[in-house]
């Protein structure tokens, strides 16, 4: 069984490395995942290595603490709304950028790509999707864009027929190039000091991640997201999530949809010069 001392060590590391706040209700989950992914009695060694600054141990611990729960077209109206907003942005500015934060194994980002291809009705829309996650193992799956049929079953038949092909390697199914080339995957820890994301975004998906963050980290992440959104840009959360103290930064549109609240000219200019 997970001891009190082990759990406290894991709690400190989770908060320091990723801003993740562990509560007593997470103790049993951590025990089960540790036994399944590391083996019996291996957690102590991992915690010790992580405390001593071992980068691989810290990566493996973060993988242990994150669930990577995702799927194709979860809350499907979010994707249609995001694609329509991107179409509007392209009409106004010539291009659009979208960000899938906490992209896990890629289903969310690829669902967004499919929605964009539907709305734009062409295979080369002037859009870019940046998809990030803290978990390198999950990102490796995402970059491969290969999924079991049990995962792909969430797609509508028309999407499955248009966007899925047989994998040339292992008999699994792979998403077609038109979908894959719209998405760029990068590793990003939302508590990092620097977010190397480049220009602002028209749409940000940040679903099922804020609930794991300690309140101070949650506010800081949302404040930075607000600074990276174009005026009127959309933030999509899981409908069960809330903004907490950062609610002042956004306008609630309902069902997990928020838009960036307008800021005055002086604040906007300072944010633009500061960069991400």
10-20 residue pLDDT tens: 888 888 877 78
pLDDT-derived band at 263, boundaries 50, 70, 90: low
Higher pLDDT, 33 or 48: 48
**Distance (Å, rounded) from C-alpha 70 to C-alpha 174?**
17
| Strands in 22-116 per DSSP E | 96-100
User: Can you read off the two tokens belonging to residue 87?
Assistant: 């179409």
215 pLDDT exceeds 90?
no
- Average per-residue pLDDT in the chain? 87
Paired tokens of 24: 């007593």
SS3 of residue 74 by DSSP: coil
Label residue 257 exposed, middle or buried (CB < 10 Å: 0-12, 13-18, 19+).
buried
pLDDT at 168 over 80: no
**Which residue did the predictor score with more confidence, 3 or 122?**
122
Task: Give the count of alpha carbons within 13 A of 245, CB side only.
Answer: 9
Confidence of residue 43 (pLDDT cuts 50, 70, 90): confident
The dihedral formed by the CA atoms of 85, 91, 95 and 97, expressed in degrees to the nearest 10: -10
Tell me the angle at which helices 43-51 and 4-18 cross, rounded to the nearest 10 degrees: 40
In the chain, where do the E strands start and end? Answer: 96-100, 127-133, 146-147, 164-166, 173-175, 183-187, 201-205, 229-236, 250-254, 257-260
Does pLDDT of 170 surpass 80?
A: no
CB atoms within 10 A of CB 33: 17
Residues 6+ apart with CB under 8 A from 159: 114
Global confidence as pTM? 0.82
| Residues forming a β-bridge with 22 | none
| Backbone angles phi and psi of 132, in degrees to 5 | -125, 155
What phi and psi, each to the nearest 5 degrees, are found at residue 122? -160, 160
pLDDT band at 58; cut points 50, 70, 90: confident
Pairing outcome for strands 257-260 and 229-236:
antiparallel
Residue 9 banded pLDDT, cuts 50, 70, 90: confident
Measuring CA to CA, how many Å separate 269 from each of 94, 193, 195? Answer: 22, 21, 19
Structure tokens of 117?
Answer: 């291809």
Q: Where are the alpha helices (DSSP H) in 192-262?
A: 215-228
* pLDDT tens digits, one per residue of 133-164: 988 889 999 999 999 999 999 999 999 999 99
The region of weakest confidence among 43-52, 115-124, 235-244 is 43-52
Question: How are beta strands 250-254 and 229-236 bridged, if at all?
Answer: unpaired
- Of 10-19, 26-35, 52-61, 92-101, the range with the highest mean pLDDT is 92-101
Q: Which residues are catalytic?
A: 33, 133
- How many angstroms separate the CA atoms of 269 and 35, rounded? 51
pLDDT tens across 67-121, in order?
666 899 999 999 999 999 999 999 999 999 999 998 999 999 999 999 999 999 9
Model confidence at 248: pLDDT above 50: yes
Please report the pLDDT score of residue 270 as a whole number. 33
* Residue 269, pLDDT score: 39
């Amino acid at each position: 069984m997970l001891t009190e001392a082990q759990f406290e060590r894991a709690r400190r590391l989770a908060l320091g490395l990723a801003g993740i706040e562990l509560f007593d209700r997470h103790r049993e989950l951590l025990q089960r995942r540790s036994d399944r992914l590391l083996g019996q009695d291996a957690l102590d060694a991992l915690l010790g290595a992580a405390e001593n600054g071992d980068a691989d141990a810290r990566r493996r611990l973060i993988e242990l603490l994150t669930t990577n729960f995702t799927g194709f077209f979860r809350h499907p109206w979010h994707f249609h709304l995001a694609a329509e907003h991107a179409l509007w942005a392209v009409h106004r500015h010539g291009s659009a950028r979208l960000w899938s934060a906490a992209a896990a194994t890629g289903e969310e980002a690829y669902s967004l790509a499919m929605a964009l291809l539907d709305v734009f009705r062409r295979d080369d829309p002037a859009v870019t999707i940046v998809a990030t996650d803290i978990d390198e193992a999950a990102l490796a799956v995402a970059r491969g864009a290969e999924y079991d049929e049990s995962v792909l079953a969430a797609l509508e038949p028309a999407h499955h027929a248009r966007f899925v092909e047989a994998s040339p390697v292992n008999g699994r199914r792979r998403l077609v190039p038109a979908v894959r080339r719209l998405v760029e995957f990068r590793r990003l820890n939302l508590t990092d000091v620097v977010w190397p994301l480049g220009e602002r975004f028209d749409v940000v998906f940040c679903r099922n991640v804020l609930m794991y963050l300690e309140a101070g980290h949650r506010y800081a992440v949302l404040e930075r997201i607000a600074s990276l959104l174009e005026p009127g840009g959309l933030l999509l959360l899981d409908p069960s999530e809330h903004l907490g103290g950062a609610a002042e930064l956004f306008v609630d549109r309902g069902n997990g949809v928020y838009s960036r609240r307008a800021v005055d000219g002086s604040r906007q200019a300072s944010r633009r010069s500061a960069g991400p």
